[in-house]
Amino acid sequence: MNEERVLALAGVFQGAALAQQLATDGRCDEVAFETSLASVFRIDADSVAAVYGGVSGVRRGLRTLVAQFEDETRDVAVMRMAITVLRLERSLSRNRGLLDRLREGIVSAQRQVEHFGLGHPNVAARLAELYASTLSTLKPRVMVTGTPAYLQQKGNVDKVRAALLASVRSAVLWHQLGGRQWQLLISRKQCAMLARGLLTGSTLDDGG
C-alpha cells in the first residue's frame, strides 16, 4: 500500500460516505461532494492528488478510511457500499461498450458543468442519469439504504447516484495504481496509518 493508492481508496470511501449521508440525512458535506463530482471530470490529471484538487479534497474520505480500518466506530453500510463499488468497477472494466458510453456521457456532462457550474442540480441529475443507464445495469448493484422520505426525493437520489459515480471513478484509479481488494484485508493497519499521515499533512498545508 502506498500514499497514492490510499488517496484513490479515500476517493472511493468518500463517495460511499456521501451517498450514505444523503440517503440517511437528506444532506451531505457540500465541499466534499463538489470535490468528488469534480474528480469525475479530471481524467488526465498530473497526479493522484490533482484528481481531487489536492489531498485536502479527500479529507472526508481519509477520515472515513481511518474510522473503517482502525476505530471501533465502523459504519457497516459505508464499508459494504465501498466494497461493492470496487467489485462493480471490475465488472465495468470487462464491458468495453459500457465503458465507452460512460466516457461519452462524462464528456457531454462536462459541457453542462461549463454552462451551469459544478454545484448546479442539472449536473447531479445528468451524472445520476448516466449512472442509472450504465453502472446500474451491471452486477453487483450498489444497495443504498436510508430514510425512505429522502430516498423518494428526486434531487436527493440524483446526488446519491452522482456520489456513487464519483466513487466508481476513484475505484478505476485505485485499480490503475495496483489496488486490489485483498489488500483491504491484509493492509488495513498500514492503510489507516498512511491515511492519518495524509490527513495531518493536509491540515498543516492548509495552515489549520
Residue 109 reports pLDDT greater than 70: yes
DSSP string computed for 1-51? --HHHHHHHHHHHHHHHHHHHHHHHS---HHHHHHHHHHHH-TT-SSHHHH
Q: How confident is the prediction for the chain on average, in pLDDT?
A: 94
Residue 203 reports pLDDT greater than 80: no
- Average pLDDT of the residues in 66-84: 88
pLDDT in tens, 115-129: 999 999 999 999 999
Structural domain count of the chain: 1
**% of the chain surpassing 90 pLDDT:** 88
Residue 208 reports pLDDT greater than 50: no
**Whole-angstrom Cα distance, residue 129 to residue 96?**
19
CATH number of the domain encompassing residue 119 = 1.10.3890.10
Is the distance from CB of 2 to CB of 191 less than 8 angstroms?
no
- Average pLDDT of the residues in 181-205: 90
| Identity of residue 201 | G
pLDDT grade, residue 207 (50/70/90)? low
Query: What does the pLDDT read at residue 206?
Result: 64
Provide the grid cell at 181.
481488494
**Sign of the dihedral defined by the CA atoms of residues 81, 83, 86, 91, in that order:** negative
The Cβ of residue 172 has, within 10 Å, a number of other Cβ atoms equal to: 18
**Whole-angstrom Cα distance, residue 124 to residue 12?**
18
Q: List the domain range (segments joined by +) for residue 192.
A: 3-205
pLDDT grade, residue 70 (50/70/90)? confident
Query: What does the pLDDT read at residue 54?
Result: 96
pLDDT in tens, 5-25: 999 999 999 999 999 999 999
pLDDT in tens, 126-180: 999 999 999 999 999 999 999 999 999 999 999 999 999 999 999 999 999 999 9
